[in-house]
Amino acid sequence: MAGERILVVDDEEPIVALLGEVLGAEGYAVDSARDAAQALALIRESMYDAALIDFNLPDMNGVMLHRQIRQMDEELAGRTIFMSGFLQSEANLGYYVAESAGFLGKPFDLREVVEHVRRVLAGAS
């Protein structure tokens, strides 16, 4: 069901803009943050149905941010999708699988992003 709120956390403006446009066209309300501190401030102020988080942020990595989100909003932490353009260690990939809604490697197919978000939100219902 469209209308859910999605938080996109990435320090690359073109990716934030593209994801905002694509997810917005699907009917989702999209907020964005360029770093972990801004993301945490938005989560304190608003409720989100899902989050897409880049692993490499300027102020902390995605695992550290995810752990802080888990302390604030357990449900959102379970509906987090990690994104990264770098090959990840097996430990990080294991964390993504065990603790979140998954992982998208960059560059990603935009249809895959939308499908992944839909699956995450359908599981939240």
What range does the domain containing 117 cover? 5-124
From 122, 125, 120, 111, select the one nearest 25 (Cα to Cα): 111
Query: Helix or strand or coil: residue 111?
Result: helix
- Please determine, for residue 69, whether its predicted confidence score (pLDDT) is greater than 50: yes
Mean pLDDT over residues 52-57, rounded? 91
Across the beta sheet with 80-84, the strand order is 29-33, 5-9, 50-54, 80-84, 102-105
Tally of CB atoms within 10 A around 2: 12
- The CATH code of the domain that includes 63 is 3.40.50.2300
Number of domains in the chain: 1
Which of 55-64, 83-92, 108-117 has the least mean pLDDT?
83-92
- Please determine, for residue 23, whether its predicted confidence score (pLDDT) is greater than 60: yes
According to the per-residue pLDDT averaged within each range, which of 26-30, 90-94, 95-99 is highest? 26-30
Q: Tell me the C-alpha distance between 32 and 23, whole Å.
A: 12
- Please determine, for residue 51, whether its predicted confidence score (pLDDT) is greater than 50: yes
Output DSSP code: residue 10.
-
- Please determine, for residue 99, whether its predicted confidence score (pLDDT) is greater than 70: no
- What pLDDT is stored for residue 96 in this prediction? 64
Q: In this prediction, what percent of the chain has a pLDDT beyond 90?
A: 69
Query: Helix or strand or coil: residue 40?
Result: helix
Parallel, antiparallel, or unpaired: how do β-strands 50-54 and 5-9 relate? parallel
* β-sheet bridge partners, residue 5: 29
Sign of CA dihedral 12, 18, 23, 28: positive
- Please determine, for residue 100, whether its predicted confidence score (pLDDT) is greater than 60: yes
Q: Tell me the C-alpha distance between 6 and 16, whole Å.
A: 12
- What pLDDT is stored for residue 1 in this prediction? 47
pTM of the predicted structure, to 2 decimals: 0.89
Q: In this prediction, what percent of the chain has a pLDDT beyond 70?
A: 84
Q: Tell me the C-alpha distance between 125 and 112, whole Å.
A: 20
